[in-house]
Amino acid sequence: MYLSEIEGIEIKKDGYFENFGKLGRIYLENSISFIHSEKYLPDIDQNISCIVCNEELLPFFLGKDIGIVVSKEPKNTFYEIYYTIYSEGRLNYFDNKISDSATISPKATIASSGVIIGDNCVIADNVVIREGTILENNVHIGNNCVLGSDGYEVAKIYGHSKIVPHTGYCILKDNVEILNNCCVCKGLFRGYDTIIEENVKIDNIVQIAHAVKIGKNTEIGAGAVISGNTIIGENVWIGPNVTLSNKIKVGNNAFVSLGAVLINDINDGERVAGNFAYDTKKFMNEFKMKKSKE
């Protein structure tokens, strides 16, 4: 759509956009984004077709082939544009496609659109599957899980703080198994999808936030919290009650011990423990020394 189709914004130059994104993470062409500081100018790339900026940054964009909206609060205006388009039903999903071989409890709730359920999937009692959820084949979902929920993104929209409705996807690949009372959020925007790869196993009461990526054969223990935009590699062990901060990366074959609070990236094969988490051997040696002095 074009900026000129939206009421209530100050347009310096009209432009066309199809998608939304945040600077430094613009994944799709023809995206609109926002900028409020010159330190983010290096993140402007070819995928951005429209920008919301303040007066101070306007001169940088005037000579570019890009649509421009000027605002004293670029972030707020960006989310108001998004919320307006969402409310008008312009970000709807596709028709449902559910395999005849899927086993779905009559107590489950499936959205009326935007859901794909593949062959031999099993959906247990009281599961809620929201728009934008794609289950490939042989996916098993336990009781009381919610798939494709909105994640936690709060923005000021028309003067009020609101949890921003999500329009991305929640994708579970073949042979994913999730036990009971878990929540897997979908991505905030298209292209910011939550993706759980093949053969991942997830225990009870696990929270997986928006735009998380989990690699093949990873196992996640009960009570774990995986914050938004975190990337977990393949063959990883995430212990019970682990908390992973947002935007961190966990390498392949890593091991995160139970109860750990992880706030930094960890490398392939690394083992960490503690709050805040660090190398397991160092943690255990320090723990033993402390106990020996008691």
Q: Is the bond leading into 17 cis (omega within 30 degrees of zero)?
A: no
* φ, ψ dihedrals at 291, nearest 5°: -65, -35
Which is it for the CA torsion 64, 68, 70, 71, positive or negative? negative
CA 224 to chain centre: 16
Q: Which residues contact 3 (CB under 8 A, 6 or more apart)?
A: 9, 11, 14, 15, 16, 17, 50, 67, 69
CA distances 262 to 230, 247, 272, 279, Å, are 11, 11, 8, 11
Closest by CA to 242, choosing from 228, 211, 263, 270, is: 263
The one-letter code for the residue type at 45 is D
**Cβ atoms < 10 Å from Cβ of 164:** 19
Q: How many CA atoms lie within 13 A of 258 on its CB side?
A: 4
Structure tokens belonging to residue 14: 């009209």
Give catalytic residues, as residue numbers: 210
Report how far apart the first and last C-alpha atoms of the chain are (Å, whole number).
Answer: 68
* φ, ψ dihedrals at 55, nearest 5°: -60, -35
Q: In this structure, which long-range contacts are made by residues 263-271, counting pairs with CB atoms below 8 Å and at least 24 apart in sequence? A: 268/233
